[in-house]
């Protein structure tokens, strides 16, 4: 029995795109052609890979097994290309780094700019999502290196702390407690807390802080992303815990204030992560070296790059 890699690739695309029609659009093929290729793959394996009986496709147990192997096959193919490119070193290529939302927004851009200055032949890009989304990209082999706020959850990932991040409680500048030298948790019992979406490492810190403060029963609303949370807090919709590094401009412009709650949340580690069984390309290896040599958060974007080296 021989496994047709073209059909395997189409099968994997159908699963990742959530259906035959979406896969056909991505692959620039007709839907009947995609369906026929998957059907021929099933016939060659003498099993059913996809359950088509419902409104949405579902993998059969056999399909789940094949999908895992398919991802490993194409990850290995990518590694082969990476190994070949290592011969040319850092003269050309592409580096796409992942970052959980706060890190990807406020830490990665200046570091990638510094990397690009040192290696102008390398094109750079950033994938930003919550920690859960970034870890999935790492596990699927779509990106090779990422920086996360907090320790990676997946056992297949290696993580090494490089920095720390402090989470602070923000309010509008005219909040009644703004300007207090110390704020006790019980003074916050009537506040509405704005929490990040599930899957965010910041959400875990927020929930842990509320539990430590005995405030798990306070009014809560869910908001997606730190930028939206900042705007919501500034507009008076509630208060929130966010990274101190994402509010520098708002504090300078007096659009937000920080409440000095005692005790405050413990700092969380900023971790560089990669899949332990993936061969990293020369650009990824060099960027990891840069990350490990970074001992403090870069200055805000308005600061000249040469000042943060």
pLDDT tens, position by position, 220-275: 999 998 999 999 999 999 999 999 999 999 999 999 999 999 999 999 999 999 99
15-63 per-position pLDDT tens digit: 999 999 999 998 888 999 999 999 999 999 999 999 988 888 999 999 9
Could you tell me what percent of the chain has a pLDDT over 70? Answer: 93
Which residue would you say has higher pLDDT here, 89 or 306?
Answer: 89
Of 6, 56, 55, 68, the closest CA to residue 34 belongs to 6
Specify the pLDDT at position 308: 33
109-137 per-position pLDDT tens digit: 999 999 999 999 889 999 999 999 999 99
**Cα separations (Å) of 205 from 36, 143, 182, 201?**
48, 26, 21, 7
pLDDT confidence tier of residue 66, bands split at 50, 70 and 90: very high
Specify the pLDDT at position 300: 55
d(CA 183, CA 3): 65
- Ordered by where they begin, the domains of the chain are 5-83 (1.10.10.10), 92-164+269-308 (3.40.190.10), 167-266 (3.40.190.10)
Specify the pLDDT at position 76: 81
d(CA 131, CA 149): 8
pLDDT confidence tier of residue 306, bands split at 50, 70 and 90: very low
d(CA 292, CA 284): 12
Instruction: Show the tokens assigned to 114.
Output: 């510094």
Residue 224 has phi, psi (to 5 degrees) of -90, 115
For 247, half-sphere exposure in the C-beta direction (CA atoms, 13 angstrom radius) is: 28
pLDDT at 81 > cutoff 90: no
Which residue would you say has higher pLDDT here, 15 or 1?
Answer: 15
- Say what the pTM is: 0.67
pLDDT confidence tier of residue 309, bands split at 50, 70 and 90: very low
């Amino acid at each position: 029995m021989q496994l047709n890699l073209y059909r395997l690739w189409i099968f994997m695309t159908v699963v990742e795109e959530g259906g035959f029609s979406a896969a056909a659009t991505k692959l620039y093929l007709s839907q009947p052609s995609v369906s026929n290729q998957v059907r021929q793959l099933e016939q060659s394996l003498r099993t059913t890979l996809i359950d088509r009986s419902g409104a949405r496709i579902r993998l059969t147990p056999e399909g789940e097994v094949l999908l895992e192997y398919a991802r490993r096959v194409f990850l290995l193919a990518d590694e082969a290309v990476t190994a070949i490119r290592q011969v040319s070193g850092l003269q050309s290529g592409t580096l796409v780094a992942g970052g959980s939302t706060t890190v990807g927004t406020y830490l990665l851009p200046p570091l990638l700019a510094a990397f690009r200055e040192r290696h102008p032949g390398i094109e750079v890009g950033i994938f930003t999502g919550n920690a859960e989304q970034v870890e999935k990209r790492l596990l699927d082999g779509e990106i090779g290196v990422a920086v996360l706020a907090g320790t990676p959850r997946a056992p297949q990932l290696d993580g090494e702390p490089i920095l720390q991040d402090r989470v602070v409680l923000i309010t509008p500048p005219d909040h009644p407690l703004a300007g207090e030298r110390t704020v006790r948790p019980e003074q916050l019992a009537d506040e509405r807390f704005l929490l990040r979406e599930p899957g965010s490492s910041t959400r875990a810190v927020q929930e842990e802080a509320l539990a430590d403060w005995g405030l798990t029963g306070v009014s809560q609303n869910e908001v997606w992303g730190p930028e939206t949370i900042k705007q919501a807090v500034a507009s008076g919709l509630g208060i929130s815990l966010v990274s101190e590094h994402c509010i520098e401009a708002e504090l300078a412009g007096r659009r937000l204030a920080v409440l000095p709650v005692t005790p405050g949340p413990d700092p969380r580690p900023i971790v560089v992560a990669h899949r332990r069984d993936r061969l990293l390309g020369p650009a990824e290896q060099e960027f990891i070296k840069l990350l490990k040599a970074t001992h403090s958060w870069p200055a805000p974007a308005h600061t000249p790059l040469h000042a943060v080296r």
